[in-house]
Amino acid sequence: MEISSQYKAVIALVFLQFTAAGVALFTKAAFMEGLTPTVFVVYRQAIATLFICPISFFSAWKKENKPSLGVRGFWWVALTAVIGVSVNQNAYFKGIDLSSSSMACAMTNLIPAVTFIISIIVGFESIKRRSMKSVAKVIGTGVCVGGAMAMTFLRGPKLLNALLNQDNTTWLLGCSFLLISTFAWSLWLILQVPIASHCSDHLYTSSCTCFVATVASFLMALALGNTHLPSWKLDSSLKLSCCIYSGIQLAVSFFLQAWVVSQKGPLFSALFNPLSAVIVTFFGALYLNEQTYLGSLLGALAIIIGLYVVLWGKSEDYQEESIDLKLGNEYTTSSQTDIASIMIGDKAFRSSELLEPLLM
């Protein structure tokens, strides 16, 4: 019996959230064993690059019009690789190392709200005062930010693993790194707009970004003091398997998310984000003895609620885009197939770049 595309999309997204949770838990365990976050990022990016680049090359080889970035497009890719991948991932995994994997997964739900704020500043978003959904985006963003502040500063009483001790300074520093990661990724999403104007082949630009990010991450690791060979050795099966798993997961998640967005749109994909936070909170407390605080749980709940409020407000934008596309072509029967492909595929993918991280 063939599974419908809707169920396939749900299965793919649930699978992605479990694999993303696995990365957060796996890396935390490897960091506890001595793996350096900056070294891990280099290995992860290198493996993802080796996975994506050959596929991108053969995909571009079959096309009559070969994709090209140009000089200016390459500089945009380089900028996004440094900010959105190297800085983002180094800050993200350092945050996991200093705080907890559950905190990291909860913080990723801030990305749509932070991206919305930056989009307003640069002029990509506008607020309609008389529109309930515009007001919802503002309120949802405020709830997300408030939840993040609660998770960071209002830890409250311990609920799980209360006998373990953790330095408050380390916790705050870890949360700060996670916030830096959130802002860096939001900037990466915003910068996809100028990149798309230079090259519309997302697979090609992603492979270029992965390659440049690998080089940038390597230089960053050296600059941060990883100049001795022992710091680069993967001297345990846990460290080696963590790097391989995370690298492959990074590459596979790109393809699956791109497919789901092309089938169901960006909002459907973003709705599943909080699932990884729930998974990591449970298994992190169970297997990694991570401490769980009342303030952290309430803050995470506020972020998730704010996320859904923002996404509900964003749904109006996609409805307007679809209506505009239909009205612009309602008298052209021969182009109905093209309209559908634009509305479901390319248009949705472009919108998703301001909501859904593809390379986390």
Q: Which pLDDT score, from 0 to 100, does residue 353 have? A: 42
Q: Give yes or no for residue 92 having a pLDDT over 80.
A: yes
Tell me: pLDDT of 268 over 80.
Answer: no
User: What rounded mean pLDDT belongs to the chain?
Assistant: 76
Which is more confident, 236 or 60? 236
pLDDT in tens, 292-305: 667 767 877 887 88
Q: What is the mean pLDDT of residues 269-296?
A: 71
Domain residue ranges in the chain: 5-352
> Which pLDDT score is estimated for 1?
46
pLDDT attached to residue 301: 82
pLDDT at 177: 93
Strongest mean pLDDT among 90-99, 119-128, 341-350: 90-99
Q: At CB < 8 A and 24+ separation, what contacts does 86-89 make?
A: 86/41, 86/45, 86/213, 86/216, 86/217, 86/220, 87/180, 87/181, 87/184, 87/220, 88/181, 88/184, 88/185, 88/188, 88/360, 89/41, 89/44, 89/45, 89/181, 89/217, 89/360
> Per-residue pLDDT for 78 more than 50?
yes
pTM for this model (two decimals): 0.75
Per-residue pLDDT for 264 more than 90? no
> For position 163, what pLDDT does the model report?
40
> Which candidate, 305, 306, 291, places its Cα nearest to that of 103?
291
What pLDDT is recorded for position 75? 92
pLDDT band for 47, please (50, 70, 90 cuts): very high
Q: Please check the confidence at residue 352 and state whether its pLDDT lies above 50.
A: no
Residue 221 is predicted with a pLDDT of 93
CA separation for the pair 6, 262 (Å, rounded):
12
The answer on pLDDT for 174 being more than 50 is: yes
8-42 pLDDT per residue, tens: 888 888 898 889 888 888 888 899 888 999 999 99
The pLDDT, as a whole number, for residue 151 is: 67
- Pick 318 or 89 by higher pLDDT: 89
Q: Does the pLDDT value for residue 111 go beyond 50? A: yes
Give DSSP secondary structure letters for 129-157.
Answer: TT-HHHHHHHHHHHHHHHHHHHHHH---S
Q: Can you tell me the mean pLDDT for 79-83?
A: 91
Question: pLDDT tens for residues 307-351?
Answer: 788 778 777 665 555 555 454 554 343 433 332 333 333 433 344
- Per cent of the chain over pLDDT 70 is 74
| pLDDT tens string 197-247 | 888 777 888 888 889 999 999 999 999 888 888 889 898 899 999 999 999
Query: For the residues 183-197, what does the mean pLDDT come to?
Result: 82
CB 161 within 8 A of CB 136: no
d(CA 114, CA 111): 5
pLDDT (0 to 100) of residue 274: 74
Q: What is the pLDDT of residue 207?
A: 87
Q: What pLDDT was estimated at residue 292?
A: 65
Checking if the pLDDT of 90 tops 90, the result is yes
